[in-house]
């Protein structure tokens, strides 16, 4: 653990991921023989583990069911150095469940998500009050928990004078409350999520795509916007410099794409917190995502000092 690292407050959910991998080519309408695996997951939990493993002090504010898989996911976070003292442990409703079938190329062919009890999470966060931001240099927020939680956490961060970095879940709050995104230092999403946010599909060559991202970022008054393109790299816009750019992907042997966006977000934000420019931060995100998709894990386990040593350069 780096004693001088920025302390990060991370607000979001924990999930148990149930993933099916076919033996051979996946048949979407037939029976598939394969392997079923259980992993600790969830957007916020994945980001918390990535950041802790990179050497950052993480205060995780969430819920996880008591016993069983809840114990396992929190023990992993604790072992990585994350502070889990503000994780609520109800008997049920604390953890979500995500069930997915992967195709033979490592991409999600179909999925169903069972959400945790978000009303319970909202009550928990409100009971913590100022402890959410206490001692933190930044808040990383899973913004789609619900509108009330998002607005409350952003308000706490503004009062404490710390920046908020938003990652999406299902786009429900992001699309309904674009004004909340404008109060975040940086917003990161993928292409499909960006198209929902913009209200139309993105077409044309890369130059037209960059222009469209910049135009919409200015229209929504977003300080920074990053749109990831899966295997196509990422496009970024920084309003302070009025610059936009493209970061290419890395050649990777893909095993499982689960957690790629969470890894990108983790490294990109941590690089920004270290004062790196947005284009370099996107390169960091690309490199960590490449590590994650080359394994069946949802987060990167061996990435200590990844940002500090600029291993992505």
Average the pLDDT over each of 90-99, 222-231, 297-306 and give the range with the smallest value: 297-306
Instruction: Round to whole Å and give the CA distance between 172 and 245.
Output: 28
Cα(199)–Cα(196) distance, rounded to whole angstroms? 5
Strand partners, 111: 100
Residue 284, pLDDT > 90, answer yes
Residue with tokens 């996107």: 282
The full set of domains in the chain, from first to last, is: 7-26+35-293 (3.40.1190.20)
Distance (Å, whole) CA 295 – CA 113? 22
Q: Is the pLDDT of residue 118 over 60?
A: yes
pLDDT tens, residue by residue, 198-221: 998 888 888 888 999 999 999 999
Q: Which helix (H) or strand (E) holds 293?
A: helix 278-293
Residues 6+ apart with CB under 8 A from 5: 55, 56, 57
Q: Which helix (H) or strand (E) holds 88?
A: strand 87-88
Mean residue pLDDT of the chain comes to: 93
For residues 149-177, give the mean pLDDT: 95
pLDDT in tens, 74-106: 999 999 999 999 999 999 999 999 999 999 888
The answer to whether the CB of 229 falls within 8 A of the CB of 268 is: no
**pLDDT value of residue 313:** 84
Give tens-digit pLDDT for 40-67.
889 999 999 999 999 999 999 999 999 8
What pLDDT is recorded for position 4? 52
Q: Which of 264, 256, 252 is nearest to 289 (CA)?
A: 264
pLDDT band at 274 (very low <50, low <70, confident <90, very high): very high
| pLDDT tens figures, 7-31 | 999 999 999 999 999 999 999 999 9
Which pLDDT value is given to residue 1?
45
CA distances (Å), origin 174, targets 17, 126, 194, 231, 260: 24, 21, 10, 24, 20
């Amino acid at each position: 653990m780096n004693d001088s690292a920025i302390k990060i407050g991370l607000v979001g959910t924990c999930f148990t991921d149930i993933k099916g991998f076919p033996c051979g080519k996946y048949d979407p309408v037939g029976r598939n023989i394969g392997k079923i695996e259980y992993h600790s997951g969830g957007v916020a939990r994945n980001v918390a583990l990535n950041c802790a493993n990179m050497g950052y002090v993480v205060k995780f504010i969430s819920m996880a069911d008591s016993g069983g898989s809840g114990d396992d996911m929190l023990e992993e976070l604790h072992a990585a150095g994350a502070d889990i003292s503000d994780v609520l442990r109800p008997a049920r409703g604390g953890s979500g469940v995500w069930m997915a079938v992967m195709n033979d190329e490592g991409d999600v062919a179909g999925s169903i998500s069972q959400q945790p009890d978000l009303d319970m999470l909202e009550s928990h966060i409100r009971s913590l009050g100022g402890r959410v931001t206490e001692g933190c240099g930044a808040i990383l927020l899973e913004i789609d928990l619900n509108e009330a939680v998002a607005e409350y956490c952003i308000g706490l961060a503004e009062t404490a004078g710390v920046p908020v970095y938003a990652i999406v879940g299902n786009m429900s709050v992001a699309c309904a409350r674009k004004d909340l995104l404008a109060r975040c230092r940086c917003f990161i999403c993928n292409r499909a999520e960006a198209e929902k946010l913009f209200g139309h599909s993105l077409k044309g060559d890369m130059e037209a795509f960059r222009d469209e991202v910049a135009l919409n970022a200015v229209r929504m008054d977003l300080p920074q916007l990053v749109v990831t393109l899966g295997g196509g790299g990422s496009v970024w816009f920084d309003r302070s410099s009025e610059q936009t750019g493209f970061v290419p992907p890395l050649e990777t042997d893909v095993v499982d794409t689960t957690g790629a966006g969470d890894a990108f977000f983790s490294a990109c934000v941590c690089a920004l917190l270290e004062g790196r420019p947005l284009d370099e931060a996107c390169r960091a995100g690309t490199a960590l995502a490449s590590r994650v998709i080359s394994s069946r894990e949802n987060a990167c386990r061996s990435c200590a000092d990844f940002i500090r040593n600029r291993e992505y350069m």
